[in-house]
Amino acid sequence: MITKEKILHRFINYISIDSQSNPKSNSTPSTKKQWDMANFLVKELKEIGVSNISIDDKGYIMASIPSTTNQKTPIIGFIAHYDTSPDFSGTNIKPQIIENYDGKDIILNKAKNIILSPSYFKDLKQYKGQTLITTDGNTLLGADDKAGITEIVSAAEYLIQHPEIIHGEIKIAFTPDEEIGRGAHYFDIKKFGASYAYTMDGSQIGELEYENFNAASAIIKVKGKSVHPGYAKGKMVNSMLIAQDFISSLPPLETPEHTSDREGFFHLHHIQGNIEETVLEYIIRDHEEKHFEARKAMMYSLSKELNKEYGDNIISVEIKDQYFNMKEKIIPSMHIVTIAEKAMKSIGIKPIIKPIRGGTDGSQLSFMGLPCPNIFTGGHNFHGKYEYVPLESMQKATEVIIKIAELTAQN
């Protein structure tokens, strides 16, 4: 249907553009370099012939594929984000193309002894004989979510070139800053005009998700007093040691590396400190609302206990909700999940319906009134040097988009 060569060429073009977001910036997009990607996408959308292309002052791109039927059909949408994670370098990405993968270790970087091995990353085994796109060990790959963009643009191009395929009007949107939790903040649902949509932002082939974490960020500040260590008895308060007490008081097995499926966690992702002050940055995640609220309450309770032990106002906790589980907004519109499931099965893909251990623009959009389940893009090991994507999975994701468009017009 859609050639792998064209998909590969498009994907390589996208990942060659550095478009990392920055959580410390207050602008939208959060980085100027995201505009490079946004402008490139607008240019390409014009070239393939989609309609009603727009880009606003926040970098949100929207476009349409006209209906090919006179029958009244729901207007559906497909959404992806063009920023890449700030967790790992996205500058000067040099992908490696592994054709006819033999199922063995892949040397990403010989000089640094960085190896992508199926003995550790067991998902690799299912892609033996396929074409893998990997990093060179120095950067992330950017499949999150430039694989999703590649698939949407490739499907749009195919549908425009094949007007004999019956489908209703289709909306396309590309957003900035999803990786820092702001991808839907300025999304104009009314302007978009879809009844419902799908984010192309999942991982391995077959994933179909309509549940995600409830999410919050937490900043814990610990105050101390610095005194010459030779004369510190009864005077020094070492904020780093109190911070250590806070860390060790949280459940040690409720961290990302010890949890799976619907299990929530506390994740300490950044720490900076000295004697005078230590700052801990956490994310809090749980699928169940009551457990989510209990996790936040635990942090507040722990800070109160430690303040009693070390002195009032030694520790402060600031927690901000980020997004919520979209399940409650999807359930009333479950037919959209059923259509996606049927689309996958019709092209030989076994659907993997499971909760997202993370979030997408779709979680926020669902609460804004646009039900938005999530579909696989094919990528694995996002946000780091071991990231890879099978080319065949991207091809199949593109076909799923086209099939969803067809099936929606038939319902």
d(CA 50, CA 56): 17
The one catalytic residue in 18, 83, 144, 209 is: 83
Q: Is residue 155's pLDDT more than 80?
A: yes
Domain ranges of the chain: 4-212+325-410, 214-323
pLDDT at 358 (0 to 100) = 81
Specify the pLDDT at position 63: 98
Q: Which CATH class is domain 4-212+325-410?
A: alpha beta
57 counts as catalytic: no
Mean of per-residue pLDDT scores for the chain: 96
Asked if pLDDT for residue 359 goes beyond 80, the answer is no
What is the rounded distance in angstroms from the CA atom of residue 205 to the CA atom of residue 140? 20
> If we measure between CA atoms, which residue out of 376, 367, 383, 377 comes closest to residue 185?
367
pLDDT at 311 over 90: no
| 83 has catalytic annotation | yes
* Contact partners, residue 41, CB within 8 Å, separation at least 6: 61, 82, 149, 153, 174
pLDDT at position 360: 79
| Structure token pair of residue 330 | 């999807």
Q: What's the pLDDT tens digit per position in 249-304?
A: 999 999 999 999 999 999 999 999 999 999 999 999 999 999 999 999 999 999 99
Q: What is the pLDDT of residue 373?
A: 96
Per-residue pLDDT reduced to its tens digit, 54-108 = 999 999 999 999 999 999 999 999 999 999 999 999 999 999 999 999 999 999 9
CATH no. of 214-323 = 3.30.70.360
Examine domains 4-212+325-410 and 214-323 and report if their fold is the same: no
Q: Does the structure show a pLDDT above 90 at 393?
A: yes
Which of these is catalytic: 144, 169, 178, 286? 178
Angstrom distance (rounded) from CA 252 to CA 267: 10
Confidence of residue 305 (pLDDT cuts 50, 70, 90): very high
Please write down the long-range contacts of 154-158, taking CB distance under 8 Å and 24 or more positions apart. Answer: 154/2, 154/6, 154/7, 154/10, 154/398, 155/2, 155/78, 155/398, 155/399, 155/401, 155/402, 155/405, 156/45, 156/48, 156/50, 156/63, 156/65, 157/48, 157/49, 158/1, 158/2, 158/398, 158/402
CA distance 34 to 32: 5
